[in-house]
Chains A and B, each alone.
Chain A
Amino acid sequence: MTHSQTDTLKEGHASIGDVVGIREQTAFQKMVASQAFWVGIALFVLVVFMTWLEPSFGTVDNTTNITRNFAPIAIMGLGMTVVLITGGIDLSVGSVMGLVAIVAGLLLTWHQPWYVAFGAGLLAGMACGAFNGFFVAYIGMPSFVVTLGMLSIARSAAVVLSGNQMLYQFGPDAPIVKAIGQAKWPRHTPDGWVPHWIPELSSHFWVMVILALIVGFVFIFTAWARHLFAIGGNEHAARLTGVPVDRVKFQAYVFSAFTASIASLLLLGYSGSAINAMGTGYELRVIAGTVIGGANLMGGYGTAFGAVIGSAFLEVIRNALLMAGIDSNWQGAFVGAFIILAVLLGMQTSGKSLMETLASMFAWKRG
Chain B
Amino acid sequence: MSVLDVRSVSKSFGAIRALSEVSFTVAAGEVVGLMGDNGAGKSTMVKLIAGNFPPSDGEIAVDGEVCHFHKPIEARGAGIEVVYQDLALADNLTAAQNVFLGREMKKGLWPFRVLDKQAMINRSAKLFAELKSETRPRDLVKKMSGGQRQAVAIARTRLSNAKLVLMDEPTAAISVRQVAEVLELIRRLKSQSVSVMLISHRMPDVFAVCDRIIVMRRGSKVADKATENTSPEEITGLITGAIRDA
* Residue B184 at the chain A interface, CB threshold 8 Å: yes
Stretch at the interface among B88-96, B193-201, B215-223: B88-96
Within 85-139 of B, Cβ neighbours of A (below 8 Å) are at: 86-93, 97, 101-104, 106, 113-115, 132, 134, 136, 138-139
Please give the distance in Å from B47's CB to the nearest CB on chain A: 12
Please give the distance in Å from B57's CB to the nearest CB on chain A: 26
* Residue B67 at the chain A interface, CB threshold 8 Å: no
Please give the distance in Å from A202's CB to the nearest CB on chain B: 28
Query: Residues of B contacting A22 with CB < 8 Å?
Result: 136, 139, 143-144
Given the contacts A25-B138, A241-B156, A226 and B208 also touching, CB distance less than 8 Å: no
Stretch at the interface among B14-22, B30-38, B175-183, B237-245: B175-183
Pair B101/A230 contact, Cβ less than 8 Å:
yes
What is the bound-complex CA distance between A213 and B154, given in angstroms? 36
Given the contacts A24-B138, A24-B139, A301 and B181 also touching, CB distance less than 8 Å: no
Query: Residues of B contacting A5 with CB < 8 Å?
Result: 180, 183, 208
Query: Residues of A contacting B180 with CB < 8 Å?
Result: 5, 8-9, 12
What is the bound-complex CA distance between A243 and B88, given in angstroms? 12
What is the bound-complex CA distance between A25 and B147, given in angstroms? 21
* Residue B53 at the chain A interface, CB threshold 8 Å: no
Q: A233's closest neighbor in chain B, by CB? A: B90
Say which residue of B89, B104, B134 sits within 8 Å of A223 (CB atoms). B104
What is the bound-complex CA distance between A221 and B113, given in angstroms? 8
Pair B91/A233 contact, Cβ less than 8 Å:
yes
The dominant DSSP class at the A interface is helix
Query: Residues of A contacting B92 with CB < 8 Å?
Result: 229, 232-233, 300-301
Pair B145/A20 contact, Cβ less than 8 Å:
yes
Within 165-181 of B, Cβ neighbours of A (below 8 Å) are at: 177, 180-181
Given the contacts A230-B101, A242-B102, A242-B103, A16 and B90 also touching, CB distance less than 8 Å: no
A residues sitting closer than 8 Å to B (CB atoms) are 1-2, 5-6, 8-9, 12-13, 16-17, 20, 22, 24-25, 221-223, 226-227, 229-230, 232-234, 236-238, 240-243, 300-301, 351
